[in-house]
Amino acid sequence: MAPLNRRSFLKSSAKMAGVAGAAVVGASGGPAHGVTGANEKIRLATIGVHGQGFYHVKRLMELKKKGKNVDVVALCDIDEQVLAGRAGELEKMRGEKPATFTDLRKVYEDKSIDAVTIGMPNHWHALATIWACQAGKDVYVEKPCSWCIREGRKMVDAARKYQRIVKVGQHLRSDPGNGKATAELRAGLIGDVYMARSLVFRRRDSIGVKQPCDPPKHIHFDLWLGPAPKQAYHENLVHYNWHWFWDFGNGEIGNNGIHAMDLARWGMNKTLPVKVSSMGGRYGYTPPDQAQTPNTQLSTLTFGDGTMLVCDVRNRFTNQEEKIGVGNLFYGSQGYFANGKPSFGYGGAAYGGKPAPEIKLDSVGGKREANQYENFINAVRSRKYEDLNCDVLEGHYSAVLFHMANISYRVGRTLTFDPKTETFVGDGAKEANAFLTREYRAPFVVPERV
């Protein structure tokens, strides 16, 4: 199959019996189909249902129970055993068997599906989103937005060109407590904020070493690899530890760090930095394990006005700071503010070194998650991406933060970044810019022009 750009998608779809793929884009350039009415049913498919993807399904089916007129009608996964099990679970929820697919391209050929949610590994996020936009489907894609910087920008381009609603799963933005904290910070709660520290203290043990072997017959490994380089299967890839390999994941800073850094950027009211320095390593495992990404990483990103965002990743034994394991400390001219786990929504501030009363942020657990998916559905109906708690552009900006940090770590030096071109400039730019994209494996190619 040729690379699935818009033209080849339309051409191949038009050949499919019963599938009017050529009607993806209307004469005006807008979507030829899509849910616009307040009462029309939204039919969704979830792609990648082993872990977080099936969490999408559960939350969406809760909305169905509440009368939101949505239905998850199809599931897709490269693992046939996982797919069968999840299909059985979904059938119990909805009283009817869902359609099942192992190849996401078949999902996109089904014109009855209005929207997709994507729970695939990071290296698939961009291409799966772009193909969905080209096929006229709205998208909820898991964090992080992208595997590399260029991919995120192409996702934004596709969403805007095809007038699709594309939401990134930065679910902490859907927490009313975090929204209140952001408003308080921007209103001057601690004066002028000059620095935020994103803390990512999450213990992770060795993953060991798994030898190359033939993939199990129920796993379509070539489809799992998708845009990534061809390589041998081993048991540390499917289904979770891919996070710690550069071809597929982005390390802990791109796994949990993205949540904290996203809230830090939101609270500081910033877009993209102009400088980055990141150091670290993979420590504390004897013998060393197979993973490639750092389990300890300290990154400093500097914005054009001199303010800083620091991300501190610690995956071994460590203390918490201000009750925070994963979250943020904001520092201002009049005090500091803490917000994070073990209970996201804890708010504490100190002024002039003296503790102030704890700020109650009314954080939520279930409320946050309900808000996250209902917000997506509401925007699908309104057709306004401005209604999203985290539109793809915001998701892209936050992903660029950790991408910059990882690139600095990998080239081993401080780098200067141009936010307008989203490229590195000055010393080390040539080596750093090589990490902005990758050579894609046909037919799984992120197109230069979406």
Query: How far is the C-alpha of 88 from the C-alpha of 10, rounded, in Å?
Result: 33
Pairing of strands 99-101, 166-168: unpaired
Query: How far is the C-alpha of 366 from the C-alpha of 88, rounded, in Å?
Result: 25
In the predicted model, is pLDDT for residue 193 greater than 50? yes
Query: How far is the C-alpha of 326 from the C-alpha of 113, rounded, in Å?
Result: 37
Beta bridge partners of 304: none
Average pLDDT of the chain, as a whole number: 89
> How confident is the model at residue 31, as a pLDDT?
42
Backbone region of residue 409 per phi and psi (left: phi > 0; alpha: psi in -120 to 50; beta: other values): alpha
In the predicted model, is pLDDT for residue 359 greater than 70? no
> How confident is the model at residue 349, as a pLDDT?
73
In the predicted model, is pLDDT for residue 29 greater than 90? no
Measured CA distances, 414 to 194, 200, 274, 277, 330 (Å): 20, 22, 11, 4, 23
pLDDT tens readout for residues 151-171: 999 999 999 999 999 999 999
pLDDT tens readout for residues 8-27: 433 333 332 222 222 233 22
The two three-digit tokens of residue 348, written as one number: 């504490």
> How confident is the model at residue 7, as a pLDDT?
37
> How confident is the model at residue 34, as a pLDDT?
54
> How confident is the model at residue 180, as a pLDDT?
84
Query: How far is the C-alpha of 198 from the C-alpha of 326, rounded, in Å?
Result: 8
The two three-digit tokens of residue 333, written as one number: 């001219």
Q: Number of C-alpha atoms within 13 angstroms, CB side, residue 334?
A: 8
> How confident is the model at residue 30, as a pLDDT?
42
> How confident is the model at residue 361, as a pLDDT?
64
In the predicted model, is pLDDT for residue 301 greater than 60? yes
| pLDDT top residue among 177 and 129 | 129
Give the global pTM. Answer: 0.90
pLDDT tens readout for residues 200-256: 999 999 999 999 999 999 999 999 999 999 999 999 999 999 999 999 999 999 999
Q: What percent of the chain has pLDDT over 90?
A: 78
Place of tokens 């029309």: 40
Which residue, among 145, 152, 124, 148, has the nearest Cα to 436 in the 3D structure?
Answer: 148
DSSP string, 234-279: -TTTTTTGGGGSTTT--HHHHHTHHHHHHHHHHHHT----SEEEEE
> How confident is the model at residue 323, as a pLDDT?
80
DSSP string, 230-241: P----TTTTTTG
Beta bridge partners of 74: 45, 99
Question: Going from the N-terminus, what domains does the chain have, and what CATH number goes with each?
Answer: 6-171+370-392 (3.40.50.720), 174-363+399-433 (3.30.360.10)
